């Protein structure tokens, strides 16, 4: 399952936003929270892709409405295409979407569902403390998507298999991976998606695995 401790390694973070005030404000907050971090900025999709390739960040904080290149108008479809491209090229990249247009992410639901890196969403209207929580979660590999993307409880067969092996047979992730004939990191990826579907997220003082089992039983997914 994903780690629930705060990120301890020095992160390399790319912030992508075409609004100077938002960009500078996000940089200032992240500098305060991660004083040793390597921070880079981009103001359009083309610049962002170049920096992801050259700087290899372990986290990208990205707006959805942005221009494709210098002098272009900001559009949500450009941001969505940038996200799709990053997730397809870098399946383990951790991403925070910081946007007032989060509802449009439903168009990328299949790609987000299969993405193996952390993926969280922070509305721009949230206090900075909440945004930093989403950054921390993404660095831990956690998935957190808008509720409108989770209408109705949808559990893939492999997720149900993980629940059964973990909570009915009492197996740990390494043995679950062996039984399912997948890599252990794939099992951890399944856990992040299961927990997002069940509204289970890291919370100080609470065991995430226990909370997942409780929610799964409440929803009737396991006996």
Q: How far is the CA of 153 from the CAs of 20, 58, 190, in angstroms?
A: 39, 30, 15
Instruction: Kindly report the CATH number that applies to the domain delimited by 152-218.
Output: 1.10.10.10
Please write the tens of the pLDDT for every residue from 55-90: 999 999 999 999 999 999 999 999 999 999 999 999
Sorted by sequence, the CB contacts under 8 Å of residue 222 that are 6+ apart come out as: 163, 164, 167, 168, 213, 216
Spans of the chain, pLDDT less than 70: 1-9, 148, 150-153
Boundaries of every domain in the chain: 12-149, 152-218
- CB-based contact 164:221 (threshold 8 Å): no
Residue 146: per-residue pLDDT: 78
| 12-149 topology per CATH | Rossmann fold (3.40.50)
> DSSP string covering 129-154, please?
HHHHHHHHHHHTT-EE--GGGG-S--
Sorted by sequence, the CB contacts under 8 Å of residue 73 that are 6+ apart come out as: 67
Residue 172: per-residue pLDDT: 96
Q: How far is the CA of 113 from the CAs of 8, 12, 33, 172, 178, in angstroms?
A: 27, 24, 29, 23, 23
Residue listed under structure tokens 């383990």: 92
Same fold, 12-149 and 152-218: no
* Integer Cα distance of 113 and 99 in angstroms: 19
């Amino acid at each position: 399952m994903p780690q629930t401790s705060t990120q301890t390694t020095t992160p390399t973070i790319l912030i992508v936003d075409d609004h100077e005030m938002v960009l500078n404000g996000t940089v200032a907050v992240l500098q305060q929270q991660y004083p040793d971090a390597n921070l880079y900025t981009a103001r359009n999709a083309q610049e962002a892709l170049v920096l992801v390739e050259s700087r290899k960040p372990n986290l990208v904080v990205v707006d959805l409405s942005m221009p494709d290149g210098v002098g272009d108008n900001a559009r949500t479809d450009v941001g969505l295409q940038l996200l799709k491209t990053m997730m397809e090229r870098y399946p383990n990249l951790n991403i925070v979407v910081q946007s007032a247009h989060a509802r449009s992410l439903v168009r990328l639901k299949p790609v987000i569902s299969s993405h193996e890196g952390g993926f969280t969403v922070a509305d721009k209207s949230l206090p900075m403390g909440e945004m930093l929580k989403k950054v921390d979660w993404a660095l831990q590999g956690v998935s957190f998507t808008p509720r409108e993307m989770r209408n109705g409880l949808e559990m893939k067969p492999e997720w149900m298999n993980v629940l059964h092996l973990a909570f009915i047979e009492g197996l740990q992730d390494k043995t679950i991976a062996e039984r399912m004939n997948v890599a252990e990191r794939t099992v951890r990826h399944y856990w992040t998606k299961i927990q997002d579907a069940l509204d289970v997220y890291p919370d100080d003082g609470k065991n995430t695995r226990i909370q997942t089992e409780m929610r799964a039983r409440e929803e009737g997914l396991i006996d």
